[in-house]
């Protein structure tokens, strides 16, 4: 059977199962203790499972609902259908009650995690699309992730991530998320962050640090010979893009060597080994850009960096800032780009949402 072969005392399909003032009642059976919720009239919930021979039981179903919904991205309607095939009647409304109750119980913990993340001197921020079940069609919402990871500059604080959902990508959302924050934000060039960097901001301006991985990706796509061969693309590989990627990689190679060192150590190494390469790279980009039409893909990729050069070079003056928006060795968060490693099940959610419409 799914879910640990058997399920412990699943609440029945009765919509009042487990509600009201009545408490759960413990029953001792052939395999030990099993927990059955009571209805308002103190009768056992319909659909409670009998004891199995192995005695593999769980006292509460709610944690299974949460793991399936949020870790494996199984919608509640699909969970209900799967349980029905196992002879367990559990309505979607009852499972939704379980999820809501657990969310309320875990809210204090979520607030503590959020406070820990936003107490950092530097955070990573990013967002990704997430499908949302709706009538007739699937809507596209946004999942915002903010990550604290002090390990690159030798910080001892544990890494953590906090997530927010919004129905769209409006700039008002990050403004609300970061209303009380005034440190360093490592992010891409999303325009919705711009208000956070303004000097007139009431809480003080957030210091923006641009992501070199985002800039590199734009040029890597122009120089990715293997991808073009796999896709049988007729697009010409850009020699300028290829040369730019090599310069990016040389800078990244030096940065990997100072990962985990103190801010002062990183700053000294950057002044000695990284700054000369960055300055040469910027001069080379400006020289090559002057030869290109503004409509070419390479020119657009160069402009992405050159128009934001202060944000891209800010890491040279602050040892806490990373070269990219990828928390090194991050185990804590996100899915698409660096920060999105913590959202890694999102592609599963997308497929499941589409199949569940």
- pLDDT tens-digit readout, 148-200: 999 999 999 999 999 999 999 999 999 999 999 999 999 999 999 999 999 99
Query: What residues does 157 pair with on adjacent strands?
Result: none
Question: Which is it for the CA torsion 172, 177, 178, 180, positive or negative?
Answer: positive
Vertex 289: Cα angle to 283 and 292 (nearest 5): 160
Whole-model pTM: value is 0.74
Query: Which residue has tokens 């150590």?
Result: 265
Question: Which is it for the CA torsion 295, 298, 301, 307, positive or negative?
Answer: negative
Query: Which residue has tokens 């596209």?
Result: 140
CA–CA gap between residue 110 and residue 97 (Å, rounded): 19
Contact 343, 333 (CB under 8 A): yes
Task: Give 311-336 pLDDT, tens digit per residue.
Answer: 999 999 999 999 998 753 343 333 34
- H/E run at residue 139: strand 139-148
Query: Which residue has tokens 């990244």?
Result: 252
Alpha carbon 76 to chain centroid distance? 22
Task: Give 83-116 pLDDT, tens digit per residue.
Answer: 999 998 989 999 999 889 988 999 999 999 999 9
- H/E run at residue 126: strand 122-132
Helices marked H in the chain — which ranges?
62-66, 76-85, 92-118, 172-177, 212-223, 225-230, 239-257, 263-269, 275-289, 297-306, 309-313, 346-356
pLDDT-derived band of residue 208, with 50, 70 and 90 as boundaries?
very high
Question: Tokens standing for 9?
Answer: 């005392």
Helices 212-223 & 297-306 angle (0-180, nearest 10)? 170
Phi, psi of 95 (to 5 degrees): -65, -35
Which of the listed ranges 33-37, 57-61, 239-243 does the model predict with the highest average pLDDT?
Answer: 239-243
CA torsion angle for 266, 267, 272, 276 (degrees, to 10)? 110
CA–CA gap between residue 102 and residue 69 (Å, rounded): 12
Mean pLDDT for the chain overall: 78
């Amino acid at each position: 059977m799914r879910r640990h072969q058997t399920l412990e005392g699943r609440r029945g399909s009765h919509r009042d199962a487990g509600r009201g003032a009545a408490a759960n009642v413990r029953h001792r059976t052939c395999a030990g203790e099993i927990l059955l919720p009571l209805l308002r009239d103190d009768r056992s919930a319909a659909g409670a499972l009998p004891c199995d021979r192995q005695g593999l039981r769980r006292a509460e179903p709610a944690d299974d609902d949460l793991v399936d919904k949020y870790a494996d991205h199984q919608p509640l309607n699909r969970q209900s259908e799967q349980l029905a095939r196992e002879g367990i009647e559990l309505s979607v409304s009852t499972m939704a009650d379980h999820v809501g109750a657990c969310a309320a119980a875990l809210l204090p913990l979520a607030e503590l995690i959020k406070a820990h993340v936003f107490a950092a001197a530097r955070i990573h921020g990013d967002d990704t699309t997430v499908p949302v079940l709706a009538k007739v069609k699937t809507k596209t919402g946004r999942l915002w992730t903010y990550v604290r990871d002090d390990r690159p500059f030798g910080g001892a604080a544990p890494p953590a991530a906090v997530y927010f959902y919004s129905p769209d990508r409006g700039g008002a959302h990050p403004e609300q998320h970061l209303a009380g924050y005034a440190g360093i934000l490592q992010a891409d060039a999303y325009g919705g962050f711009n208000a956070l960097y303004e000097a007139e901001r009431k809480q003080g301006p957030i210091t923006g640090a641009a992501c070199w991985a985002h800039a590199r990706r734009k040029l890597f796509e122009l120089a990715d010979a293997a991808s073009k061969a796999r896709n049988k693309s007729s697009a010409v590989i850009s020699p300028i893009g290829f040369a730019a990627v090599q310069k990016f990689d040389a800078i990244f190679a030096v940065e990997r060597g100072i990962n985990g060192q103190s801010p002062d150590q990183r700053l000294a190494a950057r002044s000695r080994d990284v700054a000369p390469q960055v300055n040469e790279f910027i001069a080379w980009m400006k020289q090559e850009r002057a030869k290109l039409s503004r409509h070419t893909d390479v020119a657009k990729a160069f402009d992405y960096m050159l128009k934001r050069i202060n944000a891209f070079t800010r890491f040279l003056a602050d040892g806490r800032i990373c070269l990219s928006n990828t928390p090194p060795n991050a185990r804590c968060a996100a899915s698409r780009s660096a920060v999105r490693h913590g959202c890694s099940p999102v592609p599963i959610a997308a497929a499941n949402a589409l199949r569940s419409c």
